[in-house]
């Protein structure tokens, strides 16, 4: 349009109705393009943060790789923070709020790989139990506390769909599942790993719609016959 009136742009912008409307149109177009550009910049920044977070998750998981069945002196609280970092993106995607109530506990002998896998499994189970919930905000509460000078307790509590009383005694059985796409191996492997560490894994639920609480109790001191490997050794 402007090419057609290149010889008399002044008259075109002042006298022609289309010419008078053009500056306003171009101004709005520029604003729209600026908003779109800023949106793309924001999306790119979010993508960069997501990539950095994925790298952090991979690095965290790699730090535990190959350490299965090795006992090391370590901080259970720091290990739980690693679990939270690993699960953060998945929980955010499902709009689940994670509440942490982590007390300081003594440095203890840890099979870090086993504890990591148990807690990730329990949090994933809690997240799945929240999928059907639509009448309240989805929440998982993660607690850490010392029971006494010999044992610590980690709790993973959700306000999800709950567990039927008839299913509670069977929940840790091999192959038992209440989900259509479940295989019944996750919780069974969790309780096996817990027993290998001299611990206990229990579950409580007041029934359907009442949420559930899984509690992992672990000994602080080594059992007789266990040996401790120095970190990095």
| Domain end residue (candidates: 16, 50, 65) | 65
Q: Which residues are within 8 A (CB) of 152 and not within 5 positions of it... i.e. 6 or more apart?
A: 76, 105, 106, 108, 144, 145, 146, 217, 218, 220
Which residue spans within the chain are E strands per DSSP?
Answer: 71-74, 96-102, 108-111, 138-146, 151-158, 200-204, 212-219
CB atoms under 10 Å from CB of 117, counted, come to 18
Question: What is the helix, strand, coil percentage profile of the chain, to 5?
Answer: 50, 20, 30
Residues 47 and 96 reside in one and the same domain: no
Q: Residue holding tokens 């003594």?
A: 106
User: Residues 78-113: pLDDT tens digits?
Assistant: 999 999 998 998 899 899 999 999 999 999 989 998
User: Residues 135-188: pLDDT tens digits?
Assistant: 999 999 999 999 999 999 999 999 999 999 999 999 999 888 877 676 778 899
The rounded distance, in Å, linking the Cα atoms of 169 and 150 is: 27
The rounded distance, in Å, linking the Cα atoms of 150 and 220 is: 5
Task: List the CATH number of the domain containing 183.
Answer: 3.30.565.10
Residues 165 and 121 reside in one and the same domain: yes
pLDDT of residue 66: 57
| Domain end residue (candidates: 65, 87, 106) | 65
Residues 41 and 138 reside in one and the same domain: no
User: Residues 17-57: pLDDT tens digits?
Assistant: 776 676 777 778 888 888 888 888 878 877 776 676 566 66
Residues 18 and 117 reside in one and the same domain: no
pLDDT of residue 155: 98
pLDDT of residue 232: 45
User: Residues 47-61: pLDDT tens digits?
Assistant: 776 676 566 666 666
In a domain, 213, yes or no: yes
Domain that holds residue 8: 1-65
Residue 55 parent element (H or E): helix 17-64
Q: Is the pTM of this model over 0.85?
A: no
User: Is residue 231 predicted with pLDDT exceeding 60?
Assistant: no
Residues 50 and 114 reside in one and the same domain: no
Residues 51 and 159 reside in one and the same domain: no
Mean pLDDT value across the chain = 84
Distances from the Cα of 26 to the Cα of 1, 11, 39, 133, 228, angstroms: 13, 18, 20, 48, 72
| Domain end residue (candidates: 65, 92, 115) | 65
Count of CA atoms in the C-beta half-sphere (13 A) of 193:
22
pLDDT of residue 172: 93
Residues 148 and 206 reside in one and the same domain: yes
Residues 208 and 100 reside in one and the same domain: yes
The rounded distance, in Å, linking the Cα atoms of 211 and 167 is: 14
| Total domains present in the chain | 2
In a domain, 19, yes or no: yes
Q: What is the DSSP letter of 6?
A: G
The rounded distance, in Å, linking the Cα atoms of 162 and 50 is: 32
User: Residues 213-227: pLDDT tens digits?
Assistant: 999 999 997 655 555
Residues 117 and 211 reside in one and the same domain: yes
Residues 7 and 76 reside in one and the same domain: no
User: 6 or 184: which carries more pLDDT confidence?
Assistant: 184
Residues 81 and 53 reside in one and the same domain: no
In a domain, 230, yes or no: no
Residues 125 and 209 reside in one and the same domain: yes
């Amino acid at each position: 349009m402007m090419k057609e009136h290149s010889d008399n742009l002044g008259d075109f912008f002042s006298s022609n109705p289309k010419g008078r409307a053009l500056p306003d149109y171009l101004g709005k177009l520029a604003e729209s393009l600026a908003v779109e550009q800023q949106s793309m910049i924001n999306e790119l920044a979010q993508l960069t943060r997501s990539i950095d977070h994925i790298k952090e998750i991979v690095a965290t998981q790699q730090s535990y790789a190959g350490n299965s069945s090795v006992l090391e002196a370590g901080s259970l609280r720091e290990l739980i923070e690693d679990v939270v970092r690993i699960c953060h993106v998945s929980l955010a995607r499902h709009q689940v709020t994670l509440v942490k109530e982590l007390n300081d506990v003594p440095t203890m002998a840890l099979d870090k790989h086993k504890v990591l896998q148990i807690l990730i499994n329990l949090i994933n189970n809690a997240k799945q139990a929240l999928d059907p919930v639509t009448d309240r905000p989805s929440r998982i509460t993660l607690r850490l506390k010392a029971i006494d000078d010999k044992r610590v307790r980690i709790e993973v509590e959700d306000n999800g769909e709950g567990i039927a009383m008839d299913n509670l005694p069977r929940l840790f059985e091999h192959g038992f599942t209440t989900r259509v796409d479940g295989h019944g191996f996750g919780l069974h492997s969790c309780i096996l790993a817990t027993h290998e560490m001299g611990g206990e894994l229990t579950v409580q639920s007041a029934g359907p719609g009442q949420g559930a609480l899984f509690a992992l109790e672990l000994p602080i001191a080594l059992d007789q016959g266990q040996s401790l490997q120095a970190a990095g050794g």
